[in-house]
Amino acid sequence: MAWIWTAAISAITFLYLLLQFLNLKNKKKLPPGPIGLPILGHFHLLGKNPHQDLHRIAQKHGPIIYLQFGSVPTIIVSSPAAAELFLKTHDTVFADRPHHEASIYLGYEQRNLIFGKYGQYWRNMRKLCTMELLSNLKISQFQTMRKTELSLLVGLLKKAAETGETVDLSVRITNLSADMTCLMVFGKKYEERDLDEKGFKEVIKEVMEEAAAFNIGDYFPYLRGLDLQGSARRLKRLSKIFDGFLEKIIDEHVKNKKEKETQDFVDTMMGIMESGEAAFEFDRRHVKAVLMKARVLINAYAIGRDPSAWKDPEKFFPDRFYESNVDLRGRDFQLIPFGSGRRGCPGIQLGLTAVQLMVAQLVHCFDWGLPDGMMNNELDMSENFGLVVARAKHLAAIPSYRLSH
């Protein structure tokens, strides 16, 4: 095993020196940034929450900075004006996606919308999803389902309120979102053992973690084949589990094919596949994929804390939006929770609908308190980095039902 590491280090050193020599004449054209280390580049500047570390670097070096991660040159964008340049003015130049090992295995050779390569196939798939799966009409068809699932949660919280029980809201909301998603996409909820012996939610969690995890092969391509971290092995296992699960779902839909009042996403996609309406190659691989150079990173965390765009940006002050015309759908770049431009999130309407309904019901039906006499300013708001930045510690709260019986 020692010879593998020796060969790997020697190869990295040689390639690094070669790249440094070839790129020396282009250094003056690059945006500013901190001094990097040989071979590693700027990896040493990142901790467990890279978005926060990149924000701190931008505060020192400016809204557009240059960093090197392994052999990958990276531009970090941290202001609304700079984001508009990359996402609107020059969006076609930066619309592509780099090689992503996790998506190769879990996204059927990067055929999904998130990590898919920019081109005719990706444009066709996005159009199909936007018009057939995520349209206002399609979303409204699941309105009754959303209300039914939310009423089940309200019922559980009401029982907890009667006994003064502390509720793990993080788990409750995650489970509700998972159930709603399964009903919309697959047409039914799936039990813990339907996917794998580990359990449905545990496997989903593992997929999310692997997709967000640092993979040395993504930054040092010449080491990809060695699989030094065992990432490829784990991804292959997860890919096999999910492929079997999705094949089973498709087979069930084909076997039980019938007219439904509301067709789930699989019904819709299978109908398009069988009819040939897609007008481009669209088979089972693509159905399953939808279900599952220099790089540019737009740091929405930093943009949302830009003092030139927001007064007291670190202060929780929802009233700031009362008389504001800021659009969160990607047209105003000081607030881009769904991204913007060609690679903006196509599920924005679905996301807004679900979040607004959940928050409105939880606030309308209950008053909320913290357990053990905890004050609001004592709440731990630290973050856990991943594909989705979430609370590091679950939110525990005590509901008090506020509506008349």
pLDDT given at position 74: 92
CB atoms within 10 A of CB 395: 18
- Both tokens of 100, joined, read 């992503």
From CA 328, how far away is CA 81, in angstroms rounded? 15
Bridge partners of residue 298, in order along the sequence: 77
Q: In the chain, what are the domain boundaries?
A: 30-273+284-401
- pLDDT band at residue 197, thresholds of 50, 70 and 90? low
- pLDDT band at residue 208, thresholds of 50, 70 and 90? confident
pLDDT at 157 over 70: yes
Greater pLDDT, 219 or 21: 219
Mean pLDDT score across all residues of the chain = 85
pLDDT given at position 398: 96
> Residue 6, SS3?
helix
Query: Cβ neighbours of residue 282 under 8 Å, at least 6 residues apart?
Result: 128, 272, 273
CB-CB contact of 171 with 380 (8 Å):
no
Residue with tokens 């047209």: 331
Q: Say yes or no: domain 30-273+284-401 is CATH 2.40.30.10.
A: no
Q: What is the pLDDT of residues 89-103, one digit of tens each?
A: 888 888 888 888 988
> Closest by alpha carbon to 153, among 166, 172, 140, 126?
172
Q: What is the pLDDT of residues 278-316, one digit of tens each?
A: 555 656 675 665 555 567 889 999 999 999 999 999 888
Across 102-116, 133-147, 345-359, 366-380, least confident range: 102-116
pLDDT at 379 over 70: yes
Q: Is 182 annotated as a binding residue?
A: no
pLDDT given at position 259: 61
Q: What is the pLDDT of residues 65-115, one digit of tens each?
A: 999 999 899 999 999 999 999 899 888 888 888 888 988 888 888 888 888
Q: What is the mean pLDDT of residues 318-327?
A: 86
The DSSP output letter for 37 is: B
The DSSP output letter for 397 is: E
